[in-house]
Structure 1
Amino acid sequence: MEKTVVLYPGFIVSHFVPMMRLAGVLIEHGYAVSVALIDPAVNLDDAFAAAVARAAASMPSVTFHRIPLVDGPLTPGAHFILNYLDIVARHNDRFHDFLLRSFPRGGVSAVVVDSISVEAFRVTRRLGIPGYVMFTSNAAVLSAFVQLPSVHAEARTSLKFKELPDAPLDFFGIPPMPASHLFGDLFDRPESDICKATVASLIGISEADGILANTFESLDAPAVAALGDPRCLPGRVMPPVYCVGPFVGGVDVGGQTSKQQQQQHECLSWLHGQPDHSVVFLCFGSAGHNHPEEQVKEIAVGLENSGHRFLWVVREPDANAVLPNGFLERTSGRGLVVKNWVPQADVLRHTATAVFVTHCGWNSVLEGVTAGVPMLCWPLYAEQKLNKMRMVGEMGIAVEMVASQQGLVEAAEVERKVRLAMESEEGRELRTRVVAHKEGAAVAWDDGGSSRAAFVRFLSDVESRWPQPARSGEGK
């Protein structure tokens, strides 16, 4: 019987891309891979549909299945987490039917879901299929997430709620941090539906049969050690954690970049004409974050005054409408502004790229690390502030763009940090440290490397549970 793993990656680009890297490695190890997707129309962001289309076109060995929408797409203006969890829950019956219809009894070795789709474990448990989480962030964030429900419960009994967002929270194995660096909603409105749903989702991660983390041990050693310590989750059993990264966009585990992407995108052609290590690359994530117009103008002035070359992704339909008058003309030749998707991993690996201004999403951090490019941190949401703390402190591969009390990163700060990264001894030290981590990332998937060994352990665990006779569809 053919061994098949079903991937259920949800509908966030930053979760989908690492899952497709996982698909490629599973195929290399002799598994058939089926990707079950709630109709991409569920997410009104065109970036997700485009990412799915690129993956389907470039991975003919992977079978993609569309699960028809139930009750329409994400509700505009609704809270994202509640929206997401609700959509996954109301597609459980159709996911259940897909698994029963598409595979014979015992035909699925495992199901891997993204970290916000743990509601789907109700289906896998019903059918007797092992269920794993693909955790697309790092070991420190995973450690914080699995501890957060109990830390939150303890904090509720010891502190006033209004003090919690700025109060340091203690986690085993990672430095204390303000609650606002993770999920502010847990502490701003502790009795809300948002809080209850988030806590339930975080608990669900630790109830998986195993967790695949998109990191590698040498980058995340203290947090990896913490996850293996019983004190991390007292009174409960932590499932096995397999650090199998780095899975990054545009690059297979073997390190081959997408030549098709390189040939197609204008920004790569532009980079070919720039000197080595001369360009500052600014990109704030696949979610298409738009800065306020005032902030865009401050960035533009800072870049112009720095005198350095730049490639800047400005996700606005009309960049001329938000950029300072004459900016594009004055910086013509040394700067390029693009408004659409760029092959970020390929941009970072280009010899012309010197510094990466990033929102600190973990996929972007890994792409910077594997390219050996130092970073300037501009965290925006989710766990990005925790990532920033570690990048600046423990890893020493970045410095922070500091906002004013009004929340604006001013032009002078942009200019100062660009010059620091490009011109100073501190900038050279950042590059030295990130290149060391780049080498660690390369070794992780070599024969005998930590990520390759972790992946083999994961496959051994899957095979020890297979074949499992699927139960009938009772309990739907």
Structure 2
Amino acid sequence: MQETIVLYPSPGLGHVLSMVELGKLILSRSNNRYSISILLTTGFWDTPSIFSHIDSVSKAFPSISFLRFPSISVDLSQNCSAVAIWFQFIRLQAPNAHRSLQEISKTRKVSAFVIDLFCTSTLSVGKDLKIPTFYFFTSGASTLAAFLQIPQFDNQTSGKSFKDLPDTIFHFQGVPPLRAVHMPEPLLDRQDPAYHELMYFISSLQQSDGIIVNTFEDLEPISVKAIADGLCLPDAPTPPTFYVGPLIVAGKGEAESNYCLSWLEKQPSGSVVFLCFGSRGTFYPSQVKEIAKGLEMSGQRFLWVVNDPPNNEKKTKQAEDCPNVDLDYLLPEGFIERTKDRGLVVKSFVPQVAVLNKDSVGGFVTHCGWNSVLEAVVAGVPMIAWPLYAEQHLNRNILVEDMKMAIPVEQRDGDGFVIGTELEKRVRELMEMENGKVLRERSMKMKQKALASLGPTGCSIKALTKLVELWNQG
């Protein structure tokens, strides 16, 4: 009977793309023993980009198949966070996952079931069907190390929400300290159902048959060692952990994006600072104007991706597909005209991997989303760290303090606002000063390590080989 590995990403472009890359990597190391079956939800957070990517992968990789669940609706008017509604949507999919695994099992042997952290509701499904069940952790080893330890902090805060502890700092094994108010956003408010959902997800990690992580050992050696030494779960065995990254995918650009690539090719080597904050990286007009002020005062060349303000949730979800951004409203009067000889503003989307790999790009102002971090690492581009949501403050800390590949911006307490003069200062530091040169050299060395990790004898390929051998024994 044909053997297959079933992958189940959570909704959202970043999660789906990295899971698909994992499937490609498994195929490349399994000597045609396995096919890949990817389960996908329908309706919530779908974008044309996901459909387009699935179609192209299906054509290029016949051994990768996609199985879409029936559409399920959720009540969007509930009095809870958007993340809580997202978690509820995924939880409601568990019966669909169960039926899909049973259906696949009729014609193929399911050798392993690999789930996203947010799909923890299906951990018991895999166990009940006696299928080895693994997590695919789409962030880095530092976040994994922190997540394994977070439940103990939950017990130390006397029922208070982390958002109400501005002076509390949590000290982790293998990870730089983190302010309580900078915990991942679903954990900030104990009254929000998302808090208890994510705590449940995190607590379930140790029940899996293994954890696959989208990073490589040379990028986060301190966190990797802490996990391996059992410091993050001192009272329980840590599941086998496999570091198989960096898994990234190049995006496709439309006409405006192609124009931005040709514009970059005309700029001097290492002269452009690239600003992009992801599809959810939206700012109110006051912050957009401060960014413009900082860029103009810096005197540096720049490529800046601007999204719509956060007043339309649908637009926020589909930013890369709906570039209807009103730049005249958002930007200071005359800004584009005054900076036209050294700057380019793009609406909503660029092919980020292609941009970062252009010779003219010398720095990256990023929200510290893990996919963006890995893309910058592989391109050898140093960063200015401006975290916005999710686990991005954790990523910022590791980038700045352990990897030493980024400069942090100073953000206002409460809303994270950054004034223009602060951005100007950090852009000049990265692009003009000695510290920026040091970061650039360190980033180029890490680029070589990243490429080597996925080479024939690289650490990530060795980890994946061990994982596949484990499945082969099943």
TM over 0.5, yes or no?
A: yes
Alpha-carbon shift at residue 113 of structure 1 (Å)? 1.2
Superposed CA offset, 1:24-46 (max 9, x none): 1122122211111011x211666
Residue 108 of structure 1: SS of its match in structure 2?
A: strand
**Paired letter, 1:422:** M
1:68-87 equivalences under 5 Å are 68-72=70-74, 78-87=80-89
Alpha-carbon shift at residue 105 of structure 1 (Å)? 6.3
Partner of 2:359: 351
| 381, 393, 402: which one aligns with 1:394 | 402
1:224-235 equivalences under 5 Å are 224-235=224-235
Partner of 2:165: 164
| 1:38 matched to 2:41 | yes
| 418, 423, 429: which one aligns with 1:414 | 423
Instruction: State TM-score, norm by structure 2.
Output: 0.89
Counterparts of 1:338 and 1:100, CA distance in 2:
46
Partner of 1:470: none
The question of whether the paired residues in 2 share the 8 Å contact of 1:165 and 1:188 is answered with no
User: Cα 1:325–1:60, aligned 2, differ >3 Å: closer, same or farther?
Assistant: farther
Partner of 2:273: 280
**Paired letter, 2:183:** L
User: Cα 1:74–1:14, aligned 2, differ >3 Å: closer, same or farther?
Assistant: farther
User: Cα 1:358–1:310, aligned 2, differ >3 Å: closer, same or farther?
Assistant: same
Q: Which runs of 5+ in 2 are unaligned?
A: 309-324
Residue 265 of structure 1: SS of its match in structure 2?
A: helix
Residue 275 of structure 2: SS of its match in structure 1?
A: strand
Alpha-carbon shift at residue 217 of structure 1 (Å)? 0.5
Superposed CA offset, 1:437-463 (max 9, x none): 111111111222111111011111222
| 1:265 matched to 2:263 | no
User: Cα 1:314–1:52, aligned 2, differ >3 Å: closer, same or farther?
Assistant: farther
Counterparts of 1:15 and 1:367, CA distance in 2:
15
User: What RMSD over aligned residues (CA atoms) do the two structures have, in Å?
Assistant: 2.6
Partner of 2:114: 112
User: Cα 1:415–1:175, aligned 2, differ >3 Å: closer, same or farther?
Assistant: closer
| 1:204 matched to 2:191 | no
Partner of 2:315: none
Partner of 2:101: 99
Counterparts of 1:272 and 1:349, CA distance in 2:
11
Alpha-carbon shift at residue 61 of structure 1 (Å)? 4.1
**Paired letter, 1:122:** S
| 1:13 matched to 2:13 | yes
Partner of 1:431: 440
Alpha-carbon shift at residue 176 of structure 1 (Å)? 2.7
Alpha-carbon shift at residue 180 of structure 1 (Å)? 2.1
Q: Which moved more, 1:290-299 or 1:395-404?
A: 395-404
User: Cα 1:353–1:54, aligned 2, differ >3 Å: closer, same or farther?
Assistant: farther
Residue 227 of structure 1: SS of its match in structure 2?
A: helix
The question of whether the paired residues in 2 share the 8 Å contact of 1:43 and 1:74 is answered with no
Partner of 2:319: none
Alpha-carbon shift at residue 304 of structure 1 (Å)? 1.5
Of all paired residues, the percent bearing the same amino acid is: 38
Partner of 2:343: 335
Partner of 1:64: 66
Superposed CA offset, 1:288-334 (max 9, x none): 32111011011111112222211111013212210111111222232
Q: Which moved more, 1:97-106 or 1:432-441?
A: 97-106
The question of whether the paired residues in 1 share the 8 Å contact of 2:176 and 2:398 is answered with no
Q: Which moved more, 1:446-455 or 1:96-105?
A: 96-105
Partner of 1:306: 298
Counterparts of 2:224 and 2:112, CA distance in 1:
24
Q: Which moved more, 1:77-86 or 1:115-124?
A: 77-86
**Paired letter, 1:269:** S
The question of whether the paired residues in 1 share the 8 Å contact of 2:7 and 2:19 is answered with yes
Residue 411 of structure 2: SS of its match in structure 1?
A: coil
User: Cα 1:403–1:178, aligned 2, differ >3 Å: closer, same or farther?
Assistant: closer
| 1:146 matched to 2:139 | no
The question of whether the paired residues in 2 share the 8 Å contact of 1:42 and 1:74 is answered with no
Q: Which moved more, 1:132-141 or 1:175-184?
A: 175-184
Alpha-carbon shift at residue 52 of structure 1 (Å)? 4.6
The question of whether the paired residues in 2 share the 8 Å contact of 1:133 and 1:205 is answered with yes
**Paired letter, 2:373:** V
Alpha-carbon shift at residue 104 of structure 1 (Å)? 2.2
Instruction: State TM-score, norm by structure 1.
Output: 0.88
Counterparts of 2:118 and 2:155, CA distance in 1:
21
Superposed CA offset, 1:405-452 (max 9, x none): 674311111211111111111110010111111111111112221111
Q: Which runs of 5+ in 1 are unaligned?
A: 251-257, 466-476
Alpha-carbon shift at residue 376 of structure 1 (Å)? 0.5
Alpha-carbon shift at residue 97 of structure 1 (Å)? 1.4
Partner of 1:296: 288
Counterparts of 1:79 and 1:53, CA distance in 2:
32
Partner of 2:311: none
Q: Which moved more, 1:226-235 or 1:309-318?
A: 226-235
Counterparts of 1:343 and 1:388, CA distance in 2:
23
**Paired letter, 1:427:** G
Counterparts of 2:344 and 2:220, CA distance in 1:
35
**Count of equivalent residues:** 454
Counterparts of 2:76 and 2:268, CA distance in 1:
44
Residue 205 of structure 1: SS of its match in structure 2?
A: helix
Superposed CA offset, 1:148-177 (max 9, x none): 1123213438x8978635312232222332
The question of whether the paired residues in 2 share the 8 Å contact of 1:358 and 1:377 is answered with yes
Residue 171 of structure 2: SS of its match in structure 1?
A: strand
**Paired letter, 2:425:** R
Counterparts of 2:78 and 2:337, CA distance in 1:
37
User: Cα 1:219–1:162, aligned 2, differ >3 Å: closer, same or farther?
Assistant: closer
